Amino acid sequence: MTTSRRLADRKSAKFQKNILKRGAVPETTVKKASSYPVGPIVLGFFVFVVIGSSIFQIIRTASSGGMA
């Protein structure tokens, strides 16, 4: 066998080994940091603003006598 033929056979064997590994890779290589798209601080702030504004609106409506 010539040198180029041996080199071609070696590369072919390496390629064939890689074909057998198809489908054995993980679905994704990047790990997800958390399942929430926003952090707990941002979520807490959002809840604080929404609930706080609704309570403020209820107090303002009650103090005005129910009239808008």
- Residue identified by tokens 């890689």 is 18
**pTM (predicted TM-score):** 0.42
User: Residue-wise over 46-63: b if at least 16 C-beta within 10 A, else e?
Assistant: eeeeeeeeeeeeeeeeee
Which residue ranges make up each domain of the chain? 38-68
pLDDT tens for the chain, 68 residues long, are 567 888 899 888 888 877 766 666 556 656 665 677 888 899 999 999 999 999 999 999 999 876 65
Length of the chain, in residues: 68
Structure tokens at 65: 């006598």
